[in-house]
Copies of this chain bind each other. A is one copy, B any other.
Amino acid sequence: MTQIEDICEKLSKLGLSKPGVQHEQVDSVVAWEAALHSLKTSGSGSLPSSNYMLTKSLILKPKLPKGADMILVFVIAKADSSVSMPALGKNLKLKDLRFANDDILTSVFNTAKGSVSPFALSNVPSENRSNIKVILDEALLSDSTADLAFHPLNSAYTIFVSPETLKNYLNETLGAAGYAVIDLPKLAASAPQSKHSSPAIRPQEKASGEQSTETAGSTRPGLEVGKLEDFSRWYQQILTRSEMLDYYDISGCYIIRPWAYYVWQTIQEFFDAKIKSMKVKNCYFPMFVSGRALEQEKDHIEGFAPEVAWVTKAGSTDLDEPIAIRPTSETVMYPYYSKWIRSHRDLPLRLNQWCSVVRWEFKNPQPFLRTREFLWQEGHCAYIDQASADAEAREILKYYKQVYEELLAVPMIDGVKSEKEKFAGGLYTTTIEGYIPATGRGIQAATSHNLGQNFSKMFNIVVEDPSATEKVAGETPKINVWQTSWGLSTRTLGVMVMVHGDDKGLVMPPRVSEIQVIIIPTGITVKHTQEDKDKVHKACNALLDSLLKAGIRADVDLRENYTPGFKYNHWEIRGVPLRLEVGPKDLLNSSVLSVRRDTFVKQSYPLENIDKTVQQLLETIQSDMFAKATRERDAGVVMVSNWNDFVPALDNKKLCLIPWCNTSECEDEVKDRSAKSVADDVPQDEKAPSMGAKSLCIPYNQPTNPPIVPGQTKCIQCGNDAKVYGLFGRSY
């Protein structure tokens, strides 16, 4: 095996001065990033590099004529660069490029999975190096100040090498054979895409970018594309293959299948109980709204008008006036609030409805995140004073945060939206913001608005002032009520998938998974008798019974004609939190083998008290998932105190906390200056995963080290006095 001392010696000759660091074993790029981040923030020993990119090294093999000398392709790429094997093969004039078998890692490179790095090239006898085509991702050279992070020895040890050092190393090691620098994502994007292999019924499919495509030649089990390889294709695949969702023959509309709907129903039950405890009552208003009512509040309708779907015909009859489908229900409901609220004794009026709304967005639909129809709840309350409305908006936000953190195991940052980003027509908007590590983007997870008195003025929702002591012009003075509105949608499901899913499929938090435990009979071979098999099946059923009795949502997969391996894969794609394997050997030991979906850690447990063991294990998985997601999120949010670090941090998939003047003008500037340079022929879309960074929120939990010092701390964009820390980022 390559020894770290050898490599360090070699690198130090080439100019490497930074020491390597030990950290916890990592099994994914995201975990790697989190591990480095925690080193950075922990007191003990800071990270040798403050600006770095993670890398991946791939060893590929083409199909060759029999007897031909072996040729290998060694790809050194930025961790999140897409690599299209067909396109690369075509570029290199090599057929059927695939991942090389593990034994090649050992026999040729004297290394193993998890510790492949360019420095393994040193282990190849120099006479054989000319058979290795080395490809260097252009992205690695894009920022000469950013170190490149590698695992040369194992996945618990990272070294940092500057691009210059890497190039020097490659030149020295490869000599005349040299290496090629290629823009791998661009190559992948230009690749002809193979046809969709599953028989989709999509006769009217029109939206671009929705069609799922597969990378030919990839052999990854479950999913055919990695999360960091091509995130948007990974997202499509994970949703359809886990049977969470299916595409529909009207663009921007999707079918929410039972595996996803269960999660939504769990969220409904949780949140419905919370709001009932606040005395909010459920109701149902019509989905239709007249044009007149819709247009009553001007700012409000301006925000929605381009997306409103209009019914103009019923049967073969044209309607006298077109009727809109609600994009949200303020203007549907508030005329009736005006009617129902006659006195301060009718306050507070607290209503909620579970329904679907329609926003006919034309560009870039995205399952769960951005769909033409979506399910949500919308709460609408009216109070006599601002304090009550303030308090309620915050209380609801707290419950929203609980939905994400306690059910979906996704950490949230709560705060207030800027003036520019608040709900149109409202006073202010409180929000919880999530973070998607794989793309480095922020995502608005739910909002709760204090509408102030704006709508109550438009819709004339007034009561006599109960504290008035005398009449004015013969009338008791009137007060316009204070209102709130707040909504949580099926976007929740998309965030959960994006945060927890991995290259094998979904990873479901136990609290929202329809099946928490899947029992699979295993270890039965041709040597076993039918009686042995029956015994195992009987034991599986007995185990199922005891788990069900304990209130655990368990199931058993006794399907014939399927191998255990097939079943593992089937339930892994669906993200079932815990697998219990029961085989003849386990029965001899009165035990069962558990495999966690989140970590793949295997552990044997006695059958005695298995229900309690499993219950505890599920709780552990739930809290470990939240802890991991929190680590990754913490690693993804950086404090930036100087403009020059801002765009590099965004490009490095970070959200940034910046001292900010809190003006809309400055916000616009931030957005413009942080926009990626995009080729002119790519259509721009205001609401697409934003190219420029937006303000996500002004977090309630403001950094204190250093704090904003009035008159002293400056906005990093405009240099005027900073008022707050703003959370900025590219976003969904």
Chain A positions within 8 Å of B, measured between CB atoms, are: 199-201, 203-204, 246, 248-250, 253-258, 261-262, 264-265, 281-290, 292-293, 305-317, 321-323, 325, 335-336, 338-340, 345, 351, 355-356, 358, 360, 362, 372-373, 375, 559
Contacts and interface: CB of A to CB of B under 8 A. Distances in A.
B375 A284 contact: yes
A3 B323 CA distance: 66
Nearest to A340: B246
Contact of A336 (B201, B288, B311, B360): B201
Contacts of A336: 201, 246, 255
Contacts of A322: 313
Contacts of A559: 345
A106 B20 CA distance: 107
A25 B36 CA distance: 85
A597 to B, nearest CB: 21
B315 A307 contact: yes
Contact of A249 (B253, B335, B375): B335
Given A199-B339, A204-B292, A258 B287 contact: no
A307 B199 CA distance: 33
A309 B305 contact: no
Contact of A283 (B261, B283, B323, B356): B261
A164 B312 CA distance: 59
Contacts of A351: 258
Nearest to A281: B258
Contact of A253 (B286, B306, B358): B286
Given A199-B339, A255-B336, 9 more contacts: A250-B290, A250-B323, A253-B288, A255-B284, A256-B283, A256-B285, A261-B283, A308-B314, A310-B313
Contacts of A246: 336, 339-340
Contacts of A200: 339
A282 B310 contact: no
Contact of A285 (B255, B316, B335): B255
B335 A288 contact: no
A286 B248 contact: yes
Given A351-B258, A360-B314, A249 B309 contact: no
Which 4 A/B pairs are nearest by Cβ-Cβ distance?
A258-B281, A314-B360, A253-B286, A306-B315
B335 A286 contact: no
A494 B422 CA distance: 41
B335 A201 contact: yes
A28 B314 CA distance: 43
Given A282-B258, A283-B256, A307 B313 contact: no
23 contacts: A199-B339, A201-B338, A204-B292, A249-B293, A249-B335, A250-B286, A253-B286, A253-B288, A256-B283, A258-B351, A261-B284, A264-B284, A265-B282, A284-B375, A288-B373, A305-B315, A307-B314, A308-B314, A308-B315, A310-B314, A312-B312, A314-B360, A345-B559
Q: Which of A262, A282, A311 has the most CB of B within 10 A?
A: A311
Contacts of A258: 281-283, 351
**Counting chain B CB atoms within 10 Å of each CB, which of A264, A285, A351, A362 scores highest?**
A285
A325 B339 contact: no
A345 B560 CA distance: 11
A261 B282 contact: yes
Contacts of A256: 283-285
Nearest to A459: B201
A358 B360 CA distance: 19
Contacts of A335: 201, 249
A292 B253 contact: no
A47 to B, nearest CB: 46
A218 to B, nearest CB: 23
A665 B288 CA distance: 40
Nearest to A560: B345
A533 B687 CA distance: 61
A522 B360 CA distance: 56
Residue with the highest number of chain B CB atoms closer than 10 Å, among A282, A286, A287, A309: A286
Nearest to A243: B340
Nearest to A305: B315
A621 B201 CA distance: 54
A489 to B, nearest CB: 12
B293 A311 contact: no
A340 B283 CA distance: 35
Contacts of A253: 286, 288
A722 to B, nearest CB: 39
A666 B248 CA distance: 45
A46 to B, nearest CB: 50
Contacts of A314: 307-310, 360, 362
A299 to B, nearest CB: 17
A247 B262 CA distance: 34
Given A316-B306, A325-B311, A261 B281 contact: yes
A262 B283 CA distance: 8
B315 A360 contact: yes
Nearest to A342: B199
Contacts of A323: 250
A250 B335 CA distance: 13
A335 B205 CA distance: 14
A286 B201 contact: no
A284 to B, nearest CB: 4
Nearest to A335: B201
A286 B203 contact: no
Contacts of A339: 199-201, 246
A310 B250 CA distance: 14
Interface centre among A250, A307, A355 (most CB of B within 10 A): A250
Contact of A286 (B254, B283, B293, B362): B254
Contacts of A293: 249
Contacts of A201: 335-336, 338-339
B312 A310 contact: yes
Contacts of A315: 305-308, 360
A490 to B, nearest CB: 8
A201 to B, nearest CB: 5
A373 B325 contact: no
A373 B287 contact: yes
A345 B340 CA distance: 55
A325 B313 CA distance: 11
A309 B313 contact: yes
A273 to B, nearest CB: 12
